[in-house]
Amino acid sequence: MEQTKRIPNVLTIAGVDPSGGAGILADVKVMSALGTFATSVIAALTAQNTRAVTGVLPVPPEFVTQQLDTLFADVRIDAVKVGMVGESPVVHAVAEGLKKHCPKWIVLDTVMVAKSGDRLLADEAVETFKKELLPLANVITPNLPEAGVLLGREIRTQDEMYEAARDLLAMCAPNATVYLKGGHLEGDLARDVIFDGKDFVVLDAERVQTKNTHGTGCSLSSAIAAYLAKTDSLSESCRLAKQYITRAIASADELEVGAGHGPIHHFVELWK
């Protein structure tokens, strides 16, 4: 009898975006589109659309812990993506839960600011985030504004991205990798820089002219987590995730969701 291929289980710990373009709803779409089974722990609720975030309601940290413990007690988790965690007590609860359950792969998306410019991580939680979550991650995926918050300075050029990646890695575990996203810079290429402490890898893609890029960061980190669960290779997962996100952005204008920054097309490979 032919052995059934095991489908990986991937967990997203993040907030809920009702418009479906970012947060847990986007994560679940990405993980499902890439052939993994998505599970979730909700860390925050938002009132949000494609134009603005009008409210944030953190989930009590005790309930975040209960969600994590209950899930891990029953379900094999092959990779974890951490997104919006909101406030310091929730950051602490997530960090303690990850240390307790020790998943093999942790992808940390340093969610701090929404596409609309609204803050998604409280100022008082930044230090807790840096102290408790950064050291647990196998890979962190900041964009340039988020990297600026973590480092206390702006990153304004592609050349500055290399030094920023070095400095970010110094804040992480010794065996971690930094995936620094350069999409906020101008130019024909959307350049990302990856640094593992030894080598730099540059991933370039032709920049797509569209306003519909809501949830790009959430989706990239979820794609990396999904591919890690499937391939067990960080370099391969980053490369494949970049390709997937580029295709999803290129097809974003096929969707009609909201009047602001609409979502990317998570199901671009499936909805032919």
- As annotated, the active-site residues are 181, 213, 215-218
Strand locations in 196-245, DSSP E? Answer: 200-206
Q: Are 176 and 137 in contact (CB under 8 A)?
A: yes
For residues 247 and 265, give the distance between their C-alpha atoms in angstroms, rounded to a whole number: 8
DSSP secondary structure of 94-136: HHHHHHHH--S-EEE----B-TTS-B-S-GGGHHHIIIIIGGG
In this structure, which amino acid lies at residue 74?
D
Residue type present at position 157: T
Instruction: Supply φ then ψ for residue 256, to 5 degrees.
Output: -130, 90
Longest Cα–Cα distance in the chain: 59
